[in-house]
Amino acid sequence: MKPALRTRFAPSPTGYLHVGNAYSALLCQQWAETHQAEYLLRIEDIDHTRCRPHYSQAIIEDLQWLGIRWQGEPLFQSEHMHAFRQAIDRLYEQKAIYPCFCSRREIREEIIRSASAPHQHDAATAHYPGTCRKLAAHEAERRMRIAPYAWRLDSARVRELLPAPLSWLDEHGRHHAVHPEHDLIIGRKDIGVSYHLAVVVDDGQQGITHIIRGKDLQEYTGIHRILQHLLGLPAPRYHHHPLLHDTQGRRLAKRDHSAELRAMRAAGVCPQRLRHFLLQECHGRWPFQSMEEVLQTLGKPG
């Protein structure tokens, strides 16, 4: 029988883990321990253009060094692409998605053509103008046989399919209303699926009840809730924690090599001290600018 509560940590193996990732993994584990929930590890490796097997192995090793423990074997997304294809088929049957043949350049040019002159500088950040949504069904099917395409959510159609109101719940039980505002990509041309669809399907299949993740992903929670409804999946509760920032106020990223767990492990950083610092002392700020500074504070005891 499945536990009442279940959460997960789901890194992508596009590089080595840094302390920002560790901070999220520790907060997730802390929540699981506090609520007696099951804690799972998922390796989100569907993007074969960027993910590498040696990064996946490094993630597992670094988390174990840090003292992160999870139940069962890690789930690798790439091993069940069939589940994502089935989800796309279901969305297509509902006419909630349509094939998009546009290149990025074509989208940019179409936005510029449809915009008035004073707003042309906004083209890079404007939403997709719905070019391929206007294709006749027979034309779309013909082009699907001969050209690569992405899948886009049909926001107008989705509004017809959603109940009113639809919302997601945060950790305090507050409701946040969601509305499909533009035709987001659900299936990429190169890998056939998007992060948004994959994470929703996996969370549903793994029975995730609570999602603890960074505030940088909060803007996507609405679309995830929409996909959960369209696919008939349960809706987890969400907690979006603050991100870890460096001394310049920038969020930590894979570019910060001195903040990589792998480099810290090799340099002799004490994992227990690092855990305590991230959970009890850092208050969302990583104050170190070099490995030497890290070792002065978090080096081996004695």
Residue 271 lies in a domain: yes
Per-residue pLDDT, averaged over 179-202, amounts to: 93
Is 252 in the same domain as 274? yes
Q: What are the two backbone dihedrals, phi and then psi, of residue 292, each rounded to the nearest 5 degrees?
A: -60, -40
> Residue 246: which of 188, 278, 286, 204 has the closest Cα?
286
Domain end position, chosen among 141, 169, 187: 187
Is 115 in the same domain as 176? yes
Cα torsion for 131, 133, 136, 137, to the nearest 10°?
A: 140
Residue 228 lies in a domain: no
- Torsional class of 240: left (φ above 0), alpha (ψ -120 to 50), beta (otherwise): beta
Q: What rounded mean pLDDT belongs to the chain?
A: 90
With pLDDT > 70 as the criterion, what percentage of the chain qualifies? 91
- Which of 59-63, 109-113, 258-262 is most confident? 59-63
Helices (H) and strands (E) in the chain, counts: 11, 10
Per-residue pLDDT, averaged over 221-232, amounts to: 97
Q: What is the value of pTM for the model shown?
A: 0.90
Residue 16 lies in a domain: yes
What's residue 254's pLDDT? 64
Question: Which one is predicted more confidently, 50 or 299?
Answer: 50
Q: Which domain holds residue 122?
A: 83-187
Cα torsion for 227, 228, 232, 235, to the nearest 10°?
A: -170
Tokens representing 152 are 């886009």
pLDDT tens per residue, range 111-160: 666 554 333 434 334 588 888 998 999 999 999 999 999 999 999 999 99
Domain end position, chosen among 172, 187, 202: 187
Residue 32 lies in a domain: yes
Count of domains observed in the chain: 2
